[in-house]
């Protein structure tokens, strides 16, 4: 070492409350500086090129005691640790680092462990000193920053832990969850993410105050920590909500065991300040990686499962079901698919004509929505409407259909086609949105004639959901010139009182009844009833889903003239309506119902068949004590079939061999019916059932006989497609 040797100065300055008090001025600048340095609380040391201290101020002793050379890595009783927790020994010491590298070392936070004293934190700087271009030594400063570091560490702890229970909080949980997920993915061993919510905690707080509640939470935390295994995590994530990470679950049973223990521990009464506090826990669990989502979603899934546990009665755990969740999301995606289709213009209206089969006149059209799915092709409403019935999507679709239908009505009017167009409106549209407001807006944007051509079709069951509101809506809507129809009539209560209140213009008979009325006497009775109601209330009645000539003839006979269905015309695009109208000619067969031509007999046989079937049904119902149907006529001459047989039937078919066989069968049926009505199923079940089956057998023979006559003798071949009705080809 060259140059003047620094000497320990005489203590001629003091640090006081006022600051540094210089009591003696050495006269030169260096002396004055030395004096000042000797007083400050930062330990200042000068080191030679061999790492030996040459000078240290008073603070060195205060900080390092009798071991001033800790910073040059000399082994000592005290332990000095580097920022990375490695011991400060030899070459790694700040002094030697500077001596080796010749560069400044700043802001080293080091830990000093002295026996019998709390740990201290030091901030150390080390500067190389150069003299004449040569490294001559090192200057170090060491400051005690313990209070600052502890404050920082305290803040850091608070950022990651819950002060009440000392458990990790949400932030630290997120870290741990990431680590645990990575581990689980690496090892392939599942883990459980659980959310635990205390049942009855609010009552504890309300009854005993927050202080007791807080103590309870601390005890809960202790019990949880006592149950989980070493690598598991318990965190407090909310008021009375805890999260658990159960890692390394070698089997589902292992996780369930821990969960069951937790439930038991929570259900053991707690006692705070002598107060017994009965609580329990509800736990939602999801298993990673079975539930292969990100950390946030895992917690959300555990939360959902926790609510399920609560809903199922608390004090239990519930596993999240990823497939159910996928299912719900997939269902949601189907709805979004429909929304996208509507935006993309993939929806279209088709129009199906309604025909008055007595006059041959076209009455109107029903607009039916079709989805031209880009992949699946044309989809029918029955496939997609149910998905959006309970979603606001149906409102958008309904509004779109009304606007589109009105646009088409105006376009047709410009071509001279003036037809009424029915548009189906959902229950949700009636009850949720401001439907009347929407109608008023339409009225302000379109000509009154166009609006007068619009008919809104409401499903009967939807109208009944809130009959007051719907009745009001119909009244106000009709003031705007719009017509209303009750659709799918017969599927609701179809009561006279309702019909009186709902001022609709039209009743549409549900097609399921039309499809089955020729086979099922009950359905026939329903159709007859609806036609009667419509006539009594002066409402137009329309039969939907008419497919065969037999149905048309039967409906005409029953007094229903306006019909719609594949049997008359299929739904078609708007541009096809004009050409169809130009080509349209009524089917001469419809005339059968109102002309006395011989071919009409075919229809008579049909009616006779339905009449007899209905009679047998009534007998069976009555014999079994089931109400609801009127008492059947016992006399074989005055029942519906009998009246036909001994009247018109006799005149037309009297000479045929089959005809006399009919009488035999019919009389046998009446005989069996009478005996059946007189017998008692409770007293003689076997006899009763025997009579029943013989009656049905006789009925079937009679019907076969009638059908044989229909197929055999007629000049006009009426397509008998009754046996293969595409029954479910519902509202296209």
Partner 1 sequence: MTSLAHADLIVWQESFATGVDEIDEQHQILVHTLNEANARLTDESSIELLDAITRDLLSYALYHFETEERLMEEHDYPRERGDDAELHMQQHRAFSAKVVAVREEIKAGRRIPRDELLAFLNNWLINHILNTDKRLGAYIVARGLP
Cα distances (angstroms) measured from residue 165 to each of 199, 215, 617, 730: 18, 9, 76, 64
Residue with Cβ nearer partner 1 (296 or 383) = 383
Q: Give the pair of three-digit tokens for residue 421.
A: 């167009």
Q: What is the dihedral of CA 528, 531, 537, 542, to 10 degrees?
A: 160
316 binds partner 1 (CB under 8 A): yes
Among 55, 64, 288, 319, the residue binding partner 1 under the rule CB under 8 A is: 319
539 binds partner 1 (CB under 8 A): no
* Interacting span for partner 1 (CB under 8 A) from 198-206, 384-392, 449-457, 599-607: 384-392
Contact 22, 36 (CB under 8 A): yes
Alpha helices per DSSP H over 507-656: 511-516, 521-536, 549-558, 574-583, 600-623, 640-644, 650-653
The window from 18-26, 198-206, 219-227, 313-321 that contacts partner 1 (CB under 8 A) reads 313-321
| Residue 204 token pair | 């504890």
- Our finding on whether 311 is near partner 1 (CB under 8 A) is no
Q: 354 or 494, CB closer to partner 1?
A: 494
**Using the rule CB under 8 A, which residue among 202, 210, 711, 727 binds partner 1?**
727
Site residues for partner 1, 346-375, by CB under 8 A, read 373, 375
Task: Tell which one of 214, 241, 290, 321 touches partner 1 (CB under 8 A).
Answer: 321
Residue with smaller CB distance to partner 1, 209 or 252:
252
What is the nearest approach in angstroms of partner 1 to the Cβ of residue 294?
18
Stretch near partner 1 under the rule CB under 8 A, chosen from 125-133, 380-388, 603-611, 641-649: 380-388
Least distance in angstroms from the C-beta of 417 to partner 1 = 32
Return the sign of the alpha-carbon dihedral for residues 434, 435, 436, 442: positive
> Is 378 a residue that touches partner 1 (CB under 8 A)?
no
Which residues have a Cβ under 8 Å from the Cβ of 711 and sit 6 or more positions away?
720
Task: Give me 303's structure tokens.
Answer: 């939360």
Alpha carbon distance 441, 482 (integer Å): 13
> Least Å distance between CB 192 and partner 1?
13
Residue of 317, 435, 489, 615 interacting with partner 1 (CB under 8 A): 317
> Which of 461, 591 has the CB closer to partner 1?
461
Would you count residue 313 as binding partner 1 (CB under 8 A)? no
Residue 297 engages partner 1 in binding (rule: CB under 8 A)? no
Annotate each residue in 191-220 with x if it binds partner 1 (CB under 8 A) or - if it does not, as one string. ------------------------------
Q: Indicate the residue among 158 and 334 with the shorter CB distance to partner 1.
A: 334
Burial class (CB in 10 A: 0-12, 13-18, 19+), 551: buried
What's the rounded Cα separation, in Å, for the pair 169 and 633? 83
* Choice between 4 and 386, CB closer to partner 1: 386
Residues 6+ apart with CB under 8 A from 305: 195, 284, 285, 286, 318, 319, 320
Looking at residues 577 to 616 of the shown chain, list those that interact with partner 1 (rule: CB under 8 A). none
380 binds partner 1 (CB under 8 A): yes
Is residue 267 at the binding interface for partner 1, with CB under 8 A as the rule?
no
Residue 96 or 347: which CB sits closer to partner 1? 347
Stretch that binds partner 1, among 52-60, 172-180, 382-390, 678-686 (CB under 8 A): 382-390
386 binds partner 1 (CB under 8 A): yes
DSSP class of 87: B
Binding window for partner 1 (CB under 8 A); candidates: 16-24, 210-218, 344-352, 379-387: 379-387
Nearest to 558 by CA among 502, 603, 599: 603
- CB of 375: closest distance to partner 1 in angstroms? 5
CA–CA gap between residue 474 and residue 483 (Å, rounded): 8
Please tell me whether residue 564 binds partner 1 under the rule CB under 8 A: no
Stretch that binds partner 1, among 78-86, 132-140, 319-327, 412-420 (CB under 8 A): 319-327
Query: Scanning residues 478 to 497, which ones bind partner 1 (CB under 8 A)?
Result: 488, 491
Please give the size of the binding site for partner 1, defined by CB under 8 A: 35
Nearest approach, Cβ of residue 374 and partner 1 (Å): 9
Residue 675 and residue 691 in contact, taking contact as beta carbons nearer than 8 Å: yes
Distance CA 237, CA 181 (A): 19
In the structure encoding, which two tokens stand for residue 554, read together? 């039967």
Q: How far is the CB of 409 from partner 1 (least distance, A)?
A: 29
The rounded distance, in Å, linking the Cα atoms of 696 and 571 is 40
By CB under 8 A, name the one of 291, 510, 609, 617 that touches partner 1.
510
Residue from 231, 343, 383, 684 in contact with partner 1 (CB under 8 A) = 383
Candidate residues 202, 327, 597, 719; the one interacting with partner 1 per rule CB under 8 A: 327
Q: What angle do CA 220, 225, 228 make, to 5 degrees?
A: 125
Q: Closest distance between partner 1 and the C-beta of residue 394, in Å?
A: 13
- DSSP classification of residue 324: H
DSSP string, 600-636: HHHHHHHHHHHHHHHHHHHHHHHHTT--SSPPPP--T
- Token reading at 95: 């002094």
Q: Binding partner 1 by CB under 8 A: which of 324, 340, 500, 597?
A: 324
Contacts of 409 (CB under 8 A, 6+ apart): 421, 450, 453, 454
- In whole angstroms, give the CA distance from residue 495 to residue 486: 12
Question: Which among 33-41, 579-587, 599-607, 724-732 is the span making contact with partner 1, rule CB under 8 A?
Answer: 724-732
330 lines the binding site for partner 1 (CB under 8 A) = yes
Q: In the set 130, 202, 326, 570, which binds partner 1 (CB under 8 A)? A: 326
Query: What CA dihedral angle connects 468, 474, 476 and 480, to 10 degrees?
Result: 170
Query: In Å, what is the CA distance from 393 to each residue of 163, 332, 384, 398, 457?
Result: 48, 11, 11, 9, 18
H or E stretch covering 435: helix 435-445
- Examine residue 722 and say whether the peptide bond preceding it is cis (omega within 30 degrees of 0): no
The correct pick among 334, 536, 626, 689 for binding partner 1 (CB under 8 A) is: 334
CB 60 within 8 A of CB 82: no
3-state secondary structure of 584: coil
Instruction: Choose, by CB under 8 A, the member of 412, 513, 590, 645 that binds partner 1.
Output: 513
Q: Rounded to an integer, what distance in angstroms lies between the CA atom of residue 554 and that of residue 557? A: 5
- If binding is defined by CB under 8 A, does position 512 make contact with partner 1? yes
Residues forming the site for partner 1 (CB under 8 A): 308-309, 312, 316-319, 321, 323-324, 326-327, 330-331, 333-334, 337, 373, 375-376, 379-380, 382-384, 386-387, 488, 491, 510, 512-513, 727-728, 730
């Amino acid at each position: 070492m060259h140059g003047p040797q620094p000497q320990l100065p005489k203590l001629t300055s003091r640090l006081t409350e006022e600051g540094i008090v210089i009591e003696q001025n050495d006269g030169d600048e260096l002396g004055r500086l030395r004096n000042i340095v000797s007083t400050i609380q930062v330990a200042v040391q000068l080191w030679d090129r061999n790492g030996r201290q040459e000078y240290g101020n008073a603070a060195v002793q205060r900080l390092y005691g009798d071991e001033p050379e800790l910073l040059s890595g000399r082994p000592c009783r005290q332990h000095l640790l580097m920022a990375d927790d490695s011991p400060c020994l030899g070459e790694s010491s700040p002094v030697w680092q500077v001596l080796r590298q010749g560069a400044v070392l700043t802001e080293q936070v080091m830990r000093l462990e002295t026996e019998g004293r709390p740990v201290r934190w030091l901030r150390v700087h080390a500067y190389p000193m150069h003299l004449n271009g040569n490294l001559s030594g090192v200057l170090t400063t060491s400051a005690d920053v313990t209070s600052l570091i502890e404050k920082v560490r305290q803040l850091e702890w608070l950022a990651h832990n819950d002060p009440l229970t000392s458990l990790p909080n949400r932030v630290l949980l997120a870290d741990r969850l990431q680590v645990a997920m990575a581990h689980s993915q690496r090892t392939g061993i599942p883990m459980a993410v659980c959310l635990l919510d205390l049942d009855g905690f609010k009552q504890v707080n309300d009854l005993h105050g927050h202080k007791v509640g807080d103590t309870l939470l601390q005890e809960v935390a202790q019990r949880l920590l006592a149950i989980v295994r070493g690598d598991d995590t318990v965190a407090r994530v909310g008021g009375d909500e805890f999260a658990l990470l159960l890692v390394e679950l070698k089997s589902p049973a292992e996780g369930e065991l821990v969960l069951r223990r937790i439930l038991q521990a929570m259900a053991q009464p707690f006692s705070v300040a002598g107060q017994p506090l009965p609580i329990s826990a509800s736990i939602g669990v999801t298993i990673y990686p079975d539930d292969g989502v990100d950390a946030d979603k895992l917690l959300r899934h555990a939360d959902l499962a926790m609510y399920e546990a609560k809903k199922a009665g608390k004090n239990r755990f519930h596993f999240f079901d990823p497939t159910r969740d996928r299912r719900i999301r997939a269902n949601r995606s189907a709805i979004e698919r429909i929304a996208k289709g509507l935006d993309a213009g993939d929806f279209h209206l088709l129009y199906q004509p309604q025909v008055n089969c007595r006059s041959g006149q076209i009455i109107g059209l029903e607009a039916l929505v079709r989805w031209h799915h880009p992949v699946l092709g044309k989809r029918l409403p029955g496939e997609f409407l149910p998905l959006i019935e309970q979603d606001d999507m149906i409102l958008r679709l309904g509004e779109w259909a009304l606007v589109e239908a009105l646009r088409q009505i105006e376009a047709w009017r410009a071509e001279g086609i003036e037809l009424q167009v029915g548009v189906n409106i959902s229950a949700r549209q009636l009850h949720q949105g401001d439907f009347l407001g929407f109608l008023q807006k339409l009225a302000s944007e379109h000509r009154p004639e166009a609006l007068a051509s619009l008919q809104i079709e409401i499903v009967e069951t939807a109208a009944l959901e809130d009959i007051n509101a719907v009745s009001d809506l119909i009244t106000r809507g009709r003031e705007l010139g719009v017509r209303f129809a009750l659709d799918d009539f017969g599927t609701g209560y179809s009561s006279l009182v309702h019909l009186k209140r709902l001022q609709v213009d039209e009743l549409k008979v549900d097609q399921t009844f039309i499809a089955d009325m020729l086979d099922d006497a009950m359905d026939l009775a329903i159709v007859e009833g609806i036609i009667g109601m419509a006539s009594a209330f002066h409402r137009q009645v329309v039969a939907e889903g008419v497919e065969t000539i037999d149905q048309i003839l039967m409906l005409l006979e029953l007094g229903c003239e306006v019909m719609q269905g594949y049997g008359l015309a299929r739904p078609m695009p708007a541009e096809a309506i004009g050409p169809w109208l130009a080509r349209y000619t009524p089917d001469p067969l419809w005339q059968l119902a109102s002309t006395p031509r011989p071919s009409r007999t075919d229809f008579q046989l049909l009616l006779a068949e339905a009449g007899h079937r209905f009679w047998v049904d009534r007998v069976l119902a009555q014999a079994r004590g089931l109400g609801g149907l009127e008492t059947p006529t016992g006399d074989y001459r005055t029942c519906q079939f009998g009246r036909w047989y001994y009247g018109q039937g006799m005149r037309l078919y009297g000479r045929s061999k089959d005809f006399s066989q009919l009488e035999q069968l019919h009389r046998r049926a009446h005989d069996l019916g009478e005996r059946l009505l007189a017998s008692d199923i409770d007293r003689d079940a076997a006899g009763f059932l025997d009579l029943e089956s013989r009656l049905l057998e006789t009925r079937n023979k009679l019907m076969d006989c009638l059908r044989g006559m229909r197929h055999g003798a007629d000049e006009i071949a009426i397509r008998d497609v009754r046996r293969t009705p595409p029954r479910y080809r519902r509202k296209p």
